[in-house]
Amino acid sequence: MLENLSAQPADKILALMATFKADPRSDKVDLGVGVYKDATGNTPVMRAVKEAERRILNDQKSKAYVGLAGDPDFSAVMKDLVLGDSVAQERVAAVATPGGTGAIRQALELIRIAAPQATVWLSNPTWPNHPSIIKYLGMKTAEYRYFDSATRGVDFKGLLEDLEQVAEGDVVLLHGCCHNPTGANLTYDQMSQVISLMQKKRAVPMVDIAYQGFGDGLAEDAVATRQIASSFDNCLVAASCSKNFGIYRERTGILMAIAKDADQQALAQQNLAFLNRQNYSFPPDHGARVVTTILQDPELRADWEAELEETRNSMLALRQQLADELRRLSNSDRFDFLADHRGMFSRLGTSPEMVEKLRADHGIYMVGDSRMNIAGLNAKTVPVLAKAIIDAGI
Ligand code: PMP
């Protein structure tokens, strides 16, 4: 049987991680994998997470199964964190999932059941796992233009032109905030126009929000998601707790399906529980319990918010430092976009050859499409990167 297998495409980012590890240079800089790192290169366990884990260790009386949808308290705190009061709670069906990836997978499977003919529209570029899972599930997909390689901002004209082609019932996947891999985001007004167009086309929005709190703040980063959720009868929202709680390996996420009314919500809820049952039965609990413990306790929540704010500000400071340094070295404002981008990533907008040159000549590792993890920098490596960019002639 196993002789029938053929090799699967290697994950480029994971392959890059392995090359970085094998590089003997002591001054190498890893801007590859999407994990937050502090100034010392460590991915810390957040203070509130440690404290919540201590409490769970002390207080937990049982490890028996919880429920197919996960703990209802987790759903309640996450609905509140992501959606606020943009939609009535009784319209929202929700299931805990293994990470944001699990939520995306379950969302796509739900679409496949409910609208097998729908095309799922993805930004070009997007997080590579989006097209990969869609292809694996045998679903139809199309791309809309997103990144303007001249300005390194959003190609809004191209985006609108492409979304004009959306058919009734198609699904449009939008990043809630901190677009991965580009770092370029739609403004509030631009999102309003996208919403109007989608309403006209009778399309269904799907939001992937994996970096809430990494851009402009917890509430600010939820604005687009809430704007979208409140504008449609139906909307799918896949949220990840990996980054903003720093609990990557705990696999904590949630899929929310916003229904037209309470009857439709009950049907969606039942289908989401069914999908969990088919794929992995009960979702992981530990990370979800940590998140719930933090969000339900005012003191822990305040500490988590404070640490998240420090994390966010450290990335903004690195962005500004890099943009300033490049302004000085290039004697131009052509790298100012780095300070305008939001989240953990920025797409430098250069060729794979230049990316390879930065790796070979300077030990600077970024993804082949020139996505840089800003959190991989520190105050000392920013000038090194800036000089390498200029030396390479980018
Ligand atoms: N969506 C986007 C855009 C992401 O960048 C990521 C993480 N790289 C995810 C979803 C999923 O993250 P996880 O499954 O680790 O929660």
Instruction: Enumerate the active-site residues.
Output: 127, 208, 210, 243
Of 175, 240, 254, best ligand 1 pocket probe by most atoms within 8 Å of the beta carbon: 240
129-136 and 99-114 helices cross at what angle (nearest 10)?
40
Structure tokens at 322: 């890099």
Other Cβ atoms within 10 Å of 232 Cβ, number: 17
Residues 6 or more apart in contact with residue 344 via CB below 8 angstroms: 34, 36, 178, 180, 211, 214, 243, 315, 373, 374, 375
Helical segments of 175-285, H only: 188-201, 218-221, 223-229, 262-279
Other Cβ atoms within 10 Å of 155 Cβ, number: 20
Using CA atoms, how far apart are residues 394 and 385, in angstroms rounded to an integer?
12
* Distance from the alpha carbon of residue 240 to the mean position of ligand 1, in angstroms: 6
- Closest by CA position to 279, among listed 77, 62, 113, 75: 113
pLDDT of residue 63: 97
Using CA atoms, how far apart are residues 58 and 46, in angstroms rounded to an integer?
19
Q: Is the CB of 326 under 6 A from ligand 1?
A: no
Separation in Å, CA 167 to CA 111, 121, 135: 15, 10, 19
H-run or E-run covering 120: strand 119-124
pLDDT of residue 248: 98
Using CA atoms, how far apart are residues 363 and 388, in angstroms rounded to an integer?
10
**In contact, 338 and 330? CB cutoff 8 Å:** no
Q: Is the CB of 284 under 6 A from ligand 1?
A: no
H-run or E-run covering 55: helix 47-59
CA of residue 218 relative to chain centroid, distance: 14
SS3 call for 112? helix
Task: Delineate the domains of the chain, giving CATH numbers in brackets.
Answer: 10-45+305-391 (3.90.1150.10), 65-296 (3.40.640.10)
Which residue's CA is the closest to the ligand 1 atom numbered 1?
Answer: 210
pLDDT digit of tens for each residue in the chain (394 aa)? 999 999 998 888 888 989 999 999 999 999 998 899 998 889 999 999 999 999 999 999 999 999 999 999 999 999 999 999 999 999 999 999 999 999 999 999 999 999 999 999 999 999 999 999 999 999 999 999 999 999 999 999 999 999 999 999 999 999 999 999 999 999 999 999 999 999 999 999 999 999 999 999 999 999 999 999 999 999 999 999 999 999 999 999 999 999 999 999 999 999 999 999 999 999 999 999 999 999 999 999 999 999 999 999 999 999 999 999 999 999 999 999 999 999 999 999 999 999 999 999 999 999 999 999 999 999 999 999 999 999 999 9
| ipTM, two decimals | 0.99
SS3 call for 335? coil
Q: Is the CB of 208 under 6 A from ligand 1?
A: yes
* Distance from the alpha carbon of residue 100 to the mean position of ligand 1, in angstroms: 5
SS3 call for 175? strand
Using CA atoms, how far apart are residues 43 and 28, in angstroms rounded to an integer?
18
Residues 6 or more apart in contact with residue 161 via CB below 8 angstroms: 145
Q: Which amino acid is at 289?
A: R
Which residue's CA is the closest to the ligand 1 atom numbered 9?
Answer: 100
Closest ligand 1 atom to Cα of 103: 14
Using CA atoms, how far apart are residues 71 and 53, in angstroms rounded to an integer?
16
Q: Is the CB of 215 under 6 A from ligand 1?
A: no
Q: Is the CB of 126 under 6 A from ligand 1?
A: no
Of 122, 221, 242, best ligand 1 pocket probe by most atoms within 8 Å of the beta carbon: 242
- Size (the chain), residues: 394
pLDDT of residue 9: 85
Q: Is the CB of 34 under 6 A from ligand 1?
A: yes
* Distance from the alpha carbon of residue 9 to the mean position of ligand 1, in angstroms: 19
Torsion angle, CA of 279/280/286/291, rounded to 10 degrees?
A: 20
- Closest by CA position to 278, among listed 79, 121, 105: 105
- Closest by CA position to 212, among listed 180, 189, 190, 165: 180
Using CA atoms, how far apart are residues 58 and 288, in angstroms rounded to an integer?
17
Sole residue written with tokens 């450290």: 314
* Distance from the alpha carbon of residue 315 to the mean position of ligand 1, in angstroms: 18
Closest ligand 1 atom to Cα of 104: 10
Other Cβ atoms within 10 Å of 33 Cβ, number: 16
Q: Is the CB of 159 under 6 A from ligand 1?
A: no
